Amino acid sequence: MTADVAAGNDVWAVAWDDMDLDVAAGHDIPLVWTFGDLTGTIDAANRIGDDDPRFGRIKSYGSIDATIIAGHLPVGDPKRDAFYGQIDLVEAWDDIDGTITAATSIGTVRSGA
């Protein structure tokens, strides 16, 4: 799957093969999940994650070579919530490359099966 996606609020993305994704969400990205390699840019204005532990992640059954960003809403923005700037989990069965940037916290980055 190759896609450029922009949304004013939340974005979910799932692919059964390689994913080359440039996505910008005006609020959260609860889930990006691919059974192949993941490349591109994943940019959430508020949070990458979800309260449900079954989701709340960027996951690749291949490798990840991407720019991953969470948290760039201005102070006072009503979309900025208690989870602002968090990346809950980034995991790949293969290598992880690229950059991971969070305004407040990165929970877990896991590479390898």
35-69 tens-digit pLDDT: 999 999 999 999 999 988 777 799 999 999 999 99
β-sheet bridge partners, residue 15: 34
CA-derived radius of gyration, the chain: 13
| All structural domains of the chain with their residue ranges | 2-111
Residues across the chain:
113
Question: Would you say the C-alpha torsion 51, 99, 37, 25 has a positive or negative sign?
Answer: positive
Dmax over CA atoms of the chain, in Å, equals 41
Query: What's the pLDDT at 93?
Result: 96
Report the predicted TM-score, pTM, of the whole model to 2 decimal places. 0.94
**94: three-class secondary structure by DSSP:** coil
C-alpha distances (whole Å) from 28 to each of 15, 19, 24 are 19, 19, 9
